[in-house]
Amino acid sequence: MVLGRRLVLGALRFYQRFISPAFPPSCRFTPTCSEYTYQAVEKYGVLRGVWMGGGRLLRCHPFHPGGYDPVP
């Protein structure tokens, strides 16, 4: 499972370094959705971390107030 975790974390870092800077900031939360997912995968593992990150992405829209929302 360590390999899966490393692949997911590597993909998230790749997104943060190379893809995200090409777009204007739009995340309504702190930490950003990608950083939240990274932290959740580190803390809870791939399955639960990606599940939590997906839930966070579903909440990241113009009608949600956003704000500070750390990984529990």
Q: Chunked in runs of 10, what are the mean pLDDT values of the chain (72 residues)?
A: 91 97 92 97 97 96 93 96
pLDDT of residue 26: 87
Query: How many other C-beta atoms lie within 10 A of the C-beta of residue 38?
Result: 22
Among 62, 60, 5, 58, CA closest to 30: 60
Q: Where are the domains of the chain?
A: 3-65
Cα 72 from Cα 62, distance rounded (Å): 23
Tokens at 47, concatenated: 């399955």
What gap in Å lies between CA 23 and CA 54, rounded to an integer? 20
What is residue 1's predicted lDDT score, i.e. its pLDDT?
Answer: 65
Please give the structure tokens belonging to residue 9: 């974390």
Q: What is the model's pLDDT at position 58?
A: 96
